[in-house]
Structure 1
């Protein structure tokens, strides 16, 4: 249950103001069909984060336990610091009307998540908790919690949020997870 809850909270907070949230806004502004966009986000996230979580669990089996925890601790801290850097929206063109709203959203969302902070976080969370299912479900729920309101509340919702404070909170959450992992690991080494 820790894997699911931690993954949900971490990704829900990290997604606020992220490029995929902006992509959700652009898609709903263009197509004005929130339900097919939501279903496509769900499927794209399950696919992307499922593969990412499987990679994370594989990583946890490849690297020896103590070294994995130390690596994960520093990686979580690095992701936390990375979250302080605003996303670029350069590659969010949505001029694919001939493919339909569902397919366009599915492809764009899947691609937008490749190399994204939340994808990296999914790999790390899965390696930390060694659970593909719990982490994939948690990160997917977190993604939906952050993006679904945008589909219905749109631009007004995004403009009124204190995005910088949210990014700093998400950053602190990942840094704290990293420090928690590092402290737990040093306790193991220290006895």
Structure 2
């Protein structure tokens, strides 16, 4: 086991995920459902599987698709997901604003 590489991957992922969409998603789910254990376990399994896919297929994909294209695709996916989340939250925000301004 290459422990230096292990701790490098752990540290980078830990720092990258602090305040990131994954942590915010877990935070939001726990505030909505107030059941932290199943949300923690589900989110952990999801992160493990996504990381496994990245580890297994990352090098293979990089052989055929240049890195700058992968970064562009990832950026577009992040923007798309962000727009979807904002669009989904908008009705609740508008309802809250109407209640606030009626006071």
Q: Name which one, 1 or 2, has greater alpha-carbon Rg.
A: 2
- Residue 74 of structure 2 corresponds to residue 163 of structure 1: yes
Aligned length: 89
In angstroms, what is the RMSD of aligned CA positions?
Answer: 3.3
Q: 2:11 aligns with which of 97, 107, 119?
A: 107
Q: What SS does the corresponding residue of 2:19 show, helix, strand or coil?
A: coil
* TM-score (normalizing by structure 2): 0.58
Deviation of 1:151 (Å): 0.5
Structure with bigger RCO (C-alpha 8 Å, 6+ apart): 1
* TM-score (normalizing by structure 1): 0.36
Per-residue Cα deviation, 1:96-126 (whole angstroms, up to 9, x for no partner): x7x4333333333222222223212221221
Any unmatched runs of 5+ in structure 1? 1-35, 37-96
Q: 1:139 aligns with which of 24, 43, 50?
A: 43
Any unmatched runs of 5+ in structure 2? none
Deviation of 1:154 (Å): 1.5
